[in-house]
Amino acid sequence: MANRFPSPDYHFGYRKAPVSGNTINGLGEMAQRRARQVFHGSGARKLEWSSLETFFGLTMPLHIYFRNALNRWKLRKADGPIARKRTPVSEPADMSSQLKAIARQAGAGAVGITQMTDDALYEGQTADYQTAIVIALPQDYETMKAVTTVKAAAETVDTYRNVSRIVMVLAAHIRSLGWRARAYGESADLLHIPLAINAGIGQLGKHGSVIGTEFGSNFRLASVLTDIPLATDSAVDIGVDDLCLGCQRCTIDCPADAISDQQQWVRGKKKWYVDFDRCVMYFVKTLGCGICIEVCPWSRPGRGPSLSQTLLAKRAKRDPT
Amino acid sequence: MSSFEDQFYRTDRAVWPRIKRDLSLAIWIAKLILTWFTQGRRLRKASCRALREENVLYLDDLIDSEKDG
């Protein structure tokens, strides 16, 4: 364990422990089902671990708490009326390119498009849209080196605020073309990670975050759900599993010992999984943590593309078929 | 209770529902901010005390009881 990070001792806890987040998340379950919300609600409803989330929010410095509240105010325009005249889309591929260009112009680091799927929705929720546009916005790497401090927490909140702005711009543009579109920023209703993976933004890393070619996992996600006809992207293989199977950086550096070296069964899929109960306590203690994102070798600026090439070349050499 | 999206996203063209939404969201956010100063102050003080005295602050005692009561 790297001793530059705070120790995993907690001066807060539950007298009567809530249902384990790992149980709610379906750890060890072989049958497929949709996810259930545990933590990170929008504050609009009570979840099993709500008390810890309340503690997390209310012990944040006011300027960070206030920025979050301000983002909630702006997010009211994440959906809105649709233009009466609909612009027909004869070439979905062209429309995809146009929307990606708008997103990049608004500041997006990576953009991917995929079919909307049920596994991106929590149990009991519906979102009657055809397509998801997923946006990744990188965080400032130098600032994020200060993870577990107020400085890094502020950068994370600002990145969420900025990525929310981008998806709202994109959704407003689509609605102006006469098609339904709803932006999901810091949303409690949508699981951005499965969409990001299907949209080719990156692959799931062992630390439970998406690793993309260019920014590693040093980015935040937001999405637009829409009905406008679009050409979709495909999931990518950039060699993340090859890296994560051999690299122990986040496993070792995680003070809470929450990151496993083995993929595990979660709701009918074998995948990387982070121990929720261990992670969340440390996350709350350290203003949103982020150690695993910061120490991931892929997150170092400029490293990703060459790392991906090397990993894929090694694999091709090892297994020429 | 419904989600943030269900409560505050409006697609209707009419102005009045959107004004109502803005008002209810402004109240919701004002309550959030007020909570930081009231319940939050008590929590932060209790948290600092627990840290100083090396005790454990039980969230279910403080947060759930405030909500229930």
How confident is the model at residue A153, as a pLDDT?
Answer: 97
Q: Is the pLDDT of residue A142 over 60?
A: yes
Secondary structure class of A2 (helix, strand, coil): coil
How confident is the model at residue A47, as a pLDDT?
Answer: 87
Contacts (Cβ under 8 Å, ≥6 apart) of A142: none
In chain A, what are the helix, strand and coil shares in percent, each to the nearest 5?
A: 40, 15, 45
What's the pLDDT tens digit per position in A267-286? 999 999 999 999 999 999 99
Tell if the CB–CB gap between A58 and B10 is shorter than 8 Å: no
DSSP structure string for A234-267: -----SHHHHHHH--HHHHH-TT--B-SS-EEET
Taking only residues 133 to 172 of chain A, the set having a beta carbon closer than 8 angstroms to any beta carbon of chain B reads none
Chain A nearest-CA distance from B34, in A, is 10
Q: Is the pLDDT of residue A233 over 70?
A: yes
The position carrying tokens 């947060």 is B63
Q: Establish if A66 touches chain B: CB-CB under 8 angstroms.
A: yes
Tell if the CB–CB gap between A79 and B36 is shorter than 8 Å: no
What's the pLDDT tens digit per position in A49-68? 999 999 999 999 999 999 99
Q: Which two tokens stand for residue A74?
A: 């702006």
Q: Which two tokens stand for residue A269?
A: 């899929």
Q: Establish if B16 touches chain A: CB-CB under 8 angstroms.
A: no
How confident is the model at residue A3, as a pLDDT?
Answer: 62
How confident is the model at residue B67, as a pLDDT?
Answer: 45
Partner residue opposite A42 with nearest CB, options B4, B51, B64: B4
On the 0-12 / 13-18 / 19+ scale of CB atoms within 10 A, B1 is exposed
Q: Establish if A1 touches chain B: CB-CB under 8 angstroms.
A: no
Which ranges in chain A belong to alpha helices (H)?
A: 21-25, 50-58, 62-74, 92-105, 141-144, 150-176, 192-198, 240-246, 249-253, 276-285, 291-295, 304-318
Domain range summary for chain B, segments of one domain joined by +: 1-37, 41-69
How confident is the model at residue A44, as a pLDDT?
Answer: 60
What average pLDDT does chain A have? 95
Q: Which chain A residues contact residue B21 at CB under 8 A? A: 76
**Quick one: CA torsion of A159, B37, A149, A220, rounded to 10 degrees?**
-20
Tell if the CB–CB gap between A44 and B21 is shorter than 8 Å: no
Partner residue opposite B43 with nearest CB, options A46, A58, A75: A58
How confident is the model at residue A55, as a pLDDT?
Answer: 95
How confident is the model at residue B63, as a pLDDT?
Answer: 83
Average pLDDT over residues A186-212: 94
Closest CA to A131 of A166, A156, A96, A164: A96
What's the pLDDT tens digit per position in B7-55? 899 999 999 999 999 999 999 999 999 999 999 999 999 999 999 999 9
